[in-house]
Amino acid sequence: MKLFISDLHFFHRNLNTKMDMRGFEDEFQMNEYIIERWNKKVTNKDEVYILGDFSFGDAVKTQEVLDRLKGRLYLIKGNHEKYLDFRRFDTSRFIWVKDYEEIHDNKRKIILSHYPIMCYNGQYRFDGDNNPKTYMLYGHVHNTYDEVLINNYINMVRNSKKLMLHTGEEDNIPCNMINCFCMFSDYQPLTLDEWIEVDRERREKMNSSI
């Protein structure tokens, strides 16, 4: 099973009182909660794709956390992966470490990037039932005003029409960008289908409040 999550920020104490307002007593309580939630969902056979900003800790601390997490881990680098620069850090816990990747899951292409990509590869591809075949999974913006702007962009694109080559008819433009921010899933890695549902429910609430 392929699972996805972003911006866990292990050891990042300030996120409990600033920006995310996670509300834990300290970074250690936060770490333990995330590890518990992770291992409750993930098995050692699962593939977990981390979309950046895994840890704010040093090489030794980050290694200790990694050793406690289940799953086969893949890392898309974010802007807070400083532990990777330490010679003492053993990257072998990750199957690979990359800046960007495209994978497939149940005949769907998934674009993996820490940073949101507005015009992503495969955006206009559809399957035989006229369902979009490509999803862009990102992180970085947490639940900040930047995410509000991205949501506005997504709504604008989805409400725009153009001539679609696969049908020869004018239709709404697909825009399947999903923020896999860990707090949206209560710190559990989720499958693509689970993220699609989380994203749908979140957008319904946002749109109903407008």
Give the pLDDT score at 206: 79
Model confidence over 123-177: pLDDT tens digits?
998 887 778 899 999 999 999 999 999 999 999 999 998 887 777 788 888 999 9
Looking at residue 10, the DSSP 8-state letter turns out to be B
Structural contact between residues 51 and 6, judged by C-beta atoms closer than 8 angstroms: yes
Global confidence as pTM: 0.94
2-142+176-208 CATH, one of 1.10.260.40, 2.10.25.10, 3.60.21.10, 3.40.190.10: 3.60.21.10
- The mean pLDDT of 85-92, rounded to a whole number, is 87
Cα separation, 12 vs 18, in Å, equals 10
Structural contact between residues 81 and 98, judged by C-beta atoms closer than 8 angstroms: no
Give the pLDDT score at 209: 64
Q: Assign 29 a pLDDT band (cuts: 50, 70, 90).
A: very high
Structure tokens at 170: 């004018």
pLDDT higher than threshold 60 for residue 210: no
Structural contact between residues 177 and 150, judged by C-beta atoms closer than 8 angstroms: yes
Side-by-side strand order, sheet with 94-98: 2-5, 47-50, 72-76, 94-98
Q: Residues 157, 158, 160, CA angle at the centre, nearest 5°?
A: 65
Looking at residue 184, the DSSP 8-state letter turns out to be G
The domain locations on the chain are 2-142+176-208
Give the pLDDT score at 172: 84
98 C-beta neighbours (distance < 10 Å), count: 12
